[in-house]
């Protein structure tokens, strides 16, 4: 075998393999540090594209869930107003029952009438002032809401809801009632009962859409969980595998360094011939 000193082929080969070992070690370290196995798109171009698409879908599902929660908040604001109106109707009925009895006189009925009318005014005020942002909820605006609860622009991604509840005193027949006399009190009872039925219908409508929104929100959570799980399988670092690769790369580095040292010393054999 000839001895050459101008070109150390063994050293070049050792340097090439040592470079590969450095890449293995460095890539494993970056995987562990970043938490993703695709440090650069070039590591897995197809996987990177799929993972980024899933990441965008997961982000959209997260925002859709926020939309569902905000829509539920809107319904809960309306329901809060309806609950107080229902409490007022119960109190109005109580006052009417009290005024219809001869256990109270005309003077006491005047006191009952004062409270009765104040509560009717508050009943109407609640209907007019119950809003979500600047959107009136109980005054019969008939506004149609689009709750976007999907990740696309299809009709199936939107839940539509028409806000047609009108619980103002005039709409429910509460205004104009009185308990100033026994006959007025008896007449008011029937109107109050009808108003309570209408109010219950409004509450059932809000309850139905709230139930639907909660189910839609739960479904969005489940979709997002599954999408993130799918992305994790594609993009996230397998810690056990990466640690093994890092260890393998470190061993190859050390071994390659030793081999390179031996390869660099091989031309020294030519000096012995000269000696």
Cα–Cα–Cα angle for 188, 194, 191, rounded to 5 degrees: 15
3-class secondary structure, 159: strand
Return the pLDDT at 92. Answer: 96
Task: Give the whole-angstrom CA distance, residue 206 versus residue 197.
Answer: 15
Q: Do 185 and 96 share a structural domain?
A: yes
Q: Do 253 and 222 share a structural domain?
A: no
C-beta atoms surrounding 154 within 10 Å: 8
Return the pLDDT at 128. Answer: 94
Return the pLDDT at 3. Answer: 63
Structure tokens at 181: 């006399």
Determine, yes or no, domain membership for 44: no
Q: Do 216 and 110 share a structural domain?
A: yes
Q: What does each of the 275 residues of the chain score in pLDDT, given as a tens digit?
A: 566 666 667 777 777 877 777 776 766 777 676 677 777 766 677 887 888 888 899 999 999 999 999 999 999 999 999 999 999 999 999 999 999 998 888 889 999 999 999 999 999 999 999 999 889 999 988 889 999 999 888 999 999 999 889 999 999 999 999 999 999 999 999 999 999 999 999 999 999 999 999 999 999 999 999 998 988 887 767 667 777 777 777 777 776 677 767 767 776 766 666 66
User: Are 56 and 65 in contact, with CB atoms under 8 Å apart?
Assistant: no
Q: Do 249 and 228 share a structural domain?
A: no
Structure tokens at 145: 């809401």
Q: Do 250 and 213 share a structural domain?
A: no
Determine, yes or no, domain membership for 4: no
Determine, yes or no, domain membership for 83: yes
Return the pLDDT at 41. Answer: 67
Give the chain's domain count: 2
Determine, yes or no, domain membership for 42: no
Residue-number span of the structural domain to which 31 is assigned = 9-35+237-274
Q: Do 208 and 145 share a structural domain?
A: yes
5 CB contacts (<8 Å, ≥6 apart)?
A: 267, 270
Query: What's the DSSP call for residue 139?
Result: B
Q: 163-183 burial string, b = 16+ CB within 10 Å, else e? A: bebbbbbebbebeebbbbeee
Determine, yes or no, domain membership for 113: yes
Q: How far apart, in Å, are the Cα atoms of 39 and each of 26, 36, 194?
A: 11, 6, 68
C-beta atoms surrounding 162 within 10 Å: 12
């Amino acid at each position: 075998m000839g001895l050459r000193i101008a070109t150390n082929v063994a050293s070049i080969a050792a340097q090439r393999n040592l470079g590969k070992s450095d890449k293995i070690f460095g890539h494993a370290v970056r995987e562990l540090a970043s938490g993703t196995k695709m440090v650069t798109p070039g590591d897995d171009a197809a996987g990177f594209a799929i993972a980024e698409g899933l990441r965008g879908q997961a982000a959209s599902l997260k925002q859709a869930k926020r939309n569902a929660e905000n829509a539920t908040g809107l319904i809960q604001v309306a329901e809060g107003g309806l609950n107080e109106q229902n409490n007022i109707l119960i109190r109005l009925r109580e006052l009417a029952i009290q005024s219809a009895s001869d256990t109270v006189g005309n003077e006491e009925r005047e006191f009952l009438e004062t409270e009765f009318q104040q509560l009717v005014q508050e009943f109407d005020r609640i209907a007019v002032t119950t809003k979500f942002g600047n959107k009136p909820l109980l005054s019969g605006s008939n506004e149609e809401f689009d709750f976007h609860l999907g990740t696309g622009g299809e009709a199936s991604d939107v839940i539509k809801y028409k806000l047609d509840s009108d619980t103002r005193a005039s709409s429910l027949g509460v205004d104009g009632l009185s308990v100033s006399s026994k006959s007025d009190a008896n007449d008011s009872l029937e109107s109050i009962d009808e108003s309570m039925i209408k109010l219950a219908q409004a509450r059932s409508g809000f309850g139905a859409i709230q139930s639907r929104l909660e189910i839609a929100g739960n479904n969005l959570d489940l979709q997002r969980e599954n999408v993130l799980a799918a992305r994790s399988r594609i993009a996230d670092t397998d810690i056990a595998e990466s640690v093994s690769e890092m260890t393998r790369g470190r061993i190859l580095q050390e071994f390659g360094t030793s081999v390179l040292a031996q390869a660099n010393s091989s031309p020294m054999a030519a000096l012995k011939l000269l000696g």
